[in-house]
Structure formats: C-alpha cells, structure tokens
Amino acid sequence: MSDKLIDVYLGFMDEEVNTVLNGLLDREVKKADATTRRPVILVERGEVSPDGPILEWPLSRYAARVRHIAYAHAEALQGEGPTGENARVESILARAMSVFLERDDVGDAQLRASNIDVLRRIDVHALATMTSPAKLKVPLAGRGPCLSVVRFDVGEEKNNQPPIVVVRSPEMGLQPNLMSPYIEFIFMMIGTLSSQLARIADPGAKNDWPVRISCFGAQGGATAANNPGSLSPLCASLYVGYDYATGVRVPSVALCSQGGIYRFGLPGLVEGASLNDYFIAECENLKVSAVEVDRAYTRKEEAGIAVGQTLKSVIATLVTNYAVGSAVKPEVSGTSPWFISLAQKQAFAKVGVTGCNMEDYWVLKSMRECKLKGAIRDPRSSSLYPTLAQGFLTRVNADPLKIEPEVDLAFQGDVKRKLLTRDGYVSLLLWGLLGLPLDGDGDNGMPSVARWSFSGDVVFADGTAGASRFSRHLYGMRLNGGRDVVVPDPFFVEIATDLLNECSTVVARPGNVFLAEPPARIPPADVLVELAGAAVKALAAWKDARQTPTAEVKKALATFVDVLAMRCGFAIGDTGMKVWLRPNKWEGVKATAIQDMPEGTAFAHAAVDRAFYKASNVIALRDRTARVLRD
C-alpha cells in the first residue's frame, strides 16, 4: 500500500461541514513549509458560485480563498462546463463524476414511469426497479444533477501531496436506499482520483493512493450518560426503518458494523402495522435471524456473533470487544428515516444504543462496501472503489435523552416572555447571512439579541446542582474566562437561517412561512408578492455587496422587516415584533408566531427537544471539530 493517504471527510448539514472544512484549511495554511501543504477540495451539490456563499458561509469566513471550481454534470464532457482536460485535482474528480452522470434517457424514462426522481447513474439502472415513496431532496430537473468541486487556494498546483476531500452529502435520511448508492458513487469517484494521482506521481506505480474516511456530525442523545457536547466514537449503527432495495417496502431492523451486517427477525409484526411502535415494544426480545459476513474482510471482535443472539447482547459484544486496546470507548448509534421520538430513544437506550440520527447505518454500510470491493482489487477487477485504509465515524451529542420536568416548565415560561424588535430582526437576519459567527469568528460575532436568556434561568442557577442540570440539557460557549456561558436562542437561529430564504419563494410555497391552519391564515396574494420582492431585493443587495454587511444591505433588510411587520401582521406597537415560528416544525403548537399561540397550548416534548438540539449543536460542532481532524 502506498504511503500517500487521501483524507475524505463526509458530512450532511451545512453546519457540520463548514466547520470541518475551515478547520482543515486553517491547519494547512498555517504550515510553515508551503511544499507540505495539501490541496483541499470540497464536493458540494449544485453549482457553487465563485463569489459564494459556500455552505451558508460567506467566502470571507474561510481561512483560504477559492482558487478554482470544476463542475460535474452530464454535459460537462461536451465542453459546457469548465472541467478542462488537465491534471488539477479538482478537474480530475469533476471529469470522473461527469462520466458517471452521463444522461441516460431510457433509464430516466423508466424512473419517471415509476414516479421516482433520482440522480441519473448512481446507478440509474439499479434504481430503475425501485418503487420508493420516500421524500427526495436530490430531484431530476433540467439538464440533470450537477456537482461542484471547489479547490481552495492552499497546496501546490502540482499534485505532490495527497489531497483532502471534503464531501457534503445531501441530507438523504428520508431516502434510505438512495443514501448508500450516492455515498458509494462519491467514494468510487475518489477511487478514480486516487488511481490517476498515483500514476501522475509515478507512471510505473502499481498501487493507488489509499483513502482514510472520516464522518462527523451532530446527533440526538439516547443515553443519560452523554451530555450535550460530548463526542461519541462509533463502531456500529442499528437501523430501524424500511428497506426499498427489492422495489417493495420491507420493514427492517439491522445492525451494520465493520465486520458484518446482522439482521433481526420481526416475529408478530403485522403487515401495515407501525414498525416504530413494534420496535419500541419488542426491542429487548429481538434476535439475530441472519448474519452477513464476507471472508474478504472479517473482524475478530465479531467472531462470536451468531443467529439467535439478542440485539442487546450483540451490541454489548461489539462495544466490549472493540474497546480492547482502544483509547476511547466505542459506542453504537441508532438510525431511522423519520423523526426519532422520546419513546424510540428510550427503546434504543434499553438495548445499548447511545445516540440517534438518520445517516450512520448507511455511512457504515458504504464504508464496508468500500473496504470489501477496494480490498479485493486486482488487475482483472473492474472495481472503482478506492483502497480504504481507515474509517472513522464520530458524532457530537446535541441534546439530552429526556428533558427534565422542571426544565420543561421553565422553557414554556421563557417562550411566553420572548419578544423581538425590528432592529433585532435585522441583526438576526444579518447574522444568518454571515453564517452564524460566534464570538471570536473574525470581526462579526454573535449579536447580543441572539443570546438565549433561558440559559440563565433560575432553574439552572442553583449552584452546583443548577450547573449540573444545565450541562445535562445544553452546551454553551464560555466567555470571560468561563464565568459566562452563552447559548444561541433556537427560535432566533431559525429566523436567522431560514426566514429570508423562505420568504423569497413565499408566493410559490406560502406554507413554508405561514401556517395555513385556523386560526392562523396566509396573507393575500398581493402581500405575498410584496414580501417575496422585499426578500429577493435583500438577498440581491447581499450578493451585490459581495457578502459584506454594508449600509445598503442593512437598509434592504430593514425594508423586508417593515413589510413583514406592517403587511403580514408581525408588528407589535411601533417597534416590537412577533417571533416567527417555522410552520409544522414545533410539535404541539399551531401558530405562525409565538405571540399567536392559542391560549393553553404548549410545546410538546419533541419540540422542546428540537429547541435544545438547535441551541447546542452550533457551538458543540465548532468546539469539537478540532478533535476529529486527522493528523
């Protein structure tokens, strides 16, 4: 195996990827010897503008500027995209992707006949037989899917150092059987890159450059032992959901680890019944019904796992065996293609799962596929997978297993006191355009209006006991030598990140801004047009200012806020403003604004949990990123 190691970092949400990307750029830029700096490239969906933003951050937030962008799509090989025939890292990768995004009209027609809009050629022929009703975030449209390969201005132009590839995979947890093919597609394209780079460096090379894959993101807590902000290094993930691989929706409970996939029988599950309810009731009784192990790659830690073993026993075996000789205690996460409720979290906890999300099972499955098919490559093999040297999957916990009653009660009271001004709205929207900077992130930190007053509530103020309660529920940024703990307000975070963009398309999708259910109402059509126009002008002003908070940008934002206040019913007095609630995101509440909540209604546990997650994950991800960057 070559000693040249390509690092691949995989993430899903913007806030998971931009901090990793910037941490890598900062590390490479600071290397004293420029010849040792490695090229850093980002693979992002869609056509990224050279002027930004990238991953919801303005270009000024990154430690290095953009050097070049190569675009990968079906027409790129016909000269439509700037993917030039050259040996730059980004161009090699984009060119490989373009080959496999080649238009396939016959396959597309078959997919459309099945009412499935998916990426062409990932693999379109294999996907043509699928009949999945799952929601899709990567639709077919126009000339087909496009990916951008962004090269930052670090590393030599010549490919002497192995590159670092950061991949933002689409959030495809709701599309379980499309996730693995997409991730594996990216891995195979990096495999072609590793092969070409090895031979550019040494035309007689017999081995490709191996890859090391690291996946990092936030997750919901499923154990009282892990506070928000703690890291969970994972050795396996349990999937509770549906499998569409055969073209039919099949309920599945399966555990994917490094050495195999273990499937569990579902006795007594009635057709059409809720798999989630079944798992919650039967999780401790489930037993292995099938073991999928390939002799091409096995692990001694899993040698004793067999049919008939209980789910809880299998997880305990993995955690115990993988802990031997390890500096950290490995954990097992849970994966489901739906919002994971408190009851399911508690069921996960019963069998030894410590956290939950929508992606881990599919990431591990893809890494395993890469290990198997890359490991058996020989001159006669047609495998495109790279040789996987190492794989890491790490999560930062962003919310607790359960919200304590006293904290829930205090939260409900804090919500009722929440209020904003027009100037406060402008500050929040500008904070969102800047990518939610925190104190110390360049010239623009978190505005004081964004701070969550609830973090200083009396429920957390009871000396040591209060501090302990705080750490069980939230993760904050410590200022003034640790004396002050700051947490962003989750409702204000959502205003900062979503309101302006949602309003720019409100004419076509009014339900994304205004709740349509009585007693709430959607404003008249002419008001929607006016609101959308103000939002579009504000976004255009931001673009024209090259993502700089100029006076013109602030004026455009103020005009947008005025329209929201005076024409959409958000005004309270001369300067006060109602607090926007993103529709259908806050369980238990049917209102477009907090001040419009019907008397006697309260946020359900799932909504309180969501608030705590949004409050903690921004800071936790940025604080913990340095610990997941590989040397």
Cα 320 from Cα 364, distance rounded (Å): 19
Q: Using the predicted structure, report yes or no on whether residue 128 has a pLDDT greater than 50.
A: no
State the average pLDDT over residues 157-161.
74
* Predicted pLDDT at 138: 43
* Predicted pLDDT at 129: 38
* Predicted pLDDT at 95: 81
* Predicted pLDDT at 84: 44
The DSSP annotation for 89-104 comes to HHHHHHHHHHHHT---
Cα 319 from Cα 235, distance rounded (Å): 7
Question: Sorting pLDDT into bands at 50, 70 and 90, what band is 102?
Answer: low
Bigger pLDDT: 461 vs 251: 251
* Predicted pLDDT at 481: 60
Bigger pLDDT: 597 vs 176: 597
The DSSP annotation for 439-457 comes to TTSTT----GGGB-GGGG-
> Which of the residue ranges 210-224, 376-390, 497-511 would you say has the lowest mean pLDDT?
376-390
Question: Sorting pLDDT into bands at 50, 70 and 90, what band is 141?
Answer: very low
Q: Using the predicted structure, report yes or no on whether residue 438 has a pLDDT greater than 60.
A: yes
The torsion angles phi and psi of 268, rounded to 5 degrees, stand at 85, -5
Cα 455 from Cα 623, distance rounded (Å): 18
Closest CA to 55 of 24, 31, 27: 24
State the average pLDDT over residues 352-366.
94
* Predicted pLDDT at 257: 96
List 71's β-bridge partners, or say none. Answer: 148
Question: Sorting pLDDT into bands at 50, 70 and 90, what band is 217?
Answer: very high
Burial class (CB in 10 A: 0-12, 13-18, 19+), 221: buried
* Predicted pLDDT at 263: 97
State the average pLDDT over residues 391-420.
94
| Whether the Cβ atoms of residue 428 and residue 491 lie closer than 8 Å to each other | no
* Predicted pLDDT at 241: 94
Cα 21 from Cα 435, distance rounded (Å): 14
Q: How many CB atoms lie within 10 A of CB 204?
A: 5
List 435's β-bridge partners, or say none. Answer: none
Q: Using the predicted structure, report yes or no on whether residue 33 has a pLDDT greater than 60.
A: yes
Q: How many CB atoms lie within 10 A of CB 345?
A: 23
Residues 6 or more apart in contact with residue 295 via CB below 8 angstroms: none
Q: In angstroms, what CA-CA distances link 498 with 397, 437, 506, 507?
A: 23, 16, 12, 16
- Region for residue 363 given its phi and psi (left: phi exceeds 0; alpha: psi -120 to 50; beta: otherwise): alpha
Highest average pLDDT, of 140-149, 435-444, 554-563, comes from: 554-563
How much is the mean pLDDT over the chain?
Answer: 86
pLDDT-above-90 percentage for the chain: 62
Q: Using the predicted structure, report yes or no on whether residue 117 has a pLDDT greater than 60.
A: no
Q: In angstroms, what CA-CA distances link 361 with 190, 309, 333, 364, 382?
A: 21, 20, 8, 5, 26
Q: Using the predicted structure, report yes or no on whether residue 324 has a pLDDT greater than 50.
A: yes
* Predicted pLDDT at 264: 98
Question: Sorting pLDDT into bands at 50, 70 and 90, what band is 483?
Answer: low
Bigger pLDDT: 146 vs 436: 436
Q: Using the predicted structure, report yes or no on whether residue 144 has a pLDDT greater than 90.
A: no
* Predicted pLDDT at 118: 35
Question: Sorting pLDDT into bands at 50, 70 and 90, what band is 519?
Answer: low
Q: Using the predicted structure, report yes or no on whether residue 376 has a pLDDT greater than 60.
A: no
pTM over 0.85: yes
* Predicted pLDDT at 83: 42
pLDDT-above-70 percentage for the chain: 85
Bigger pLDDT: 111 vs 12: 12
Ranges of H-type helices in 351-482: 360-375, 405-416, 422-433, 463-473
* Predicted pLDDT at 142: 45
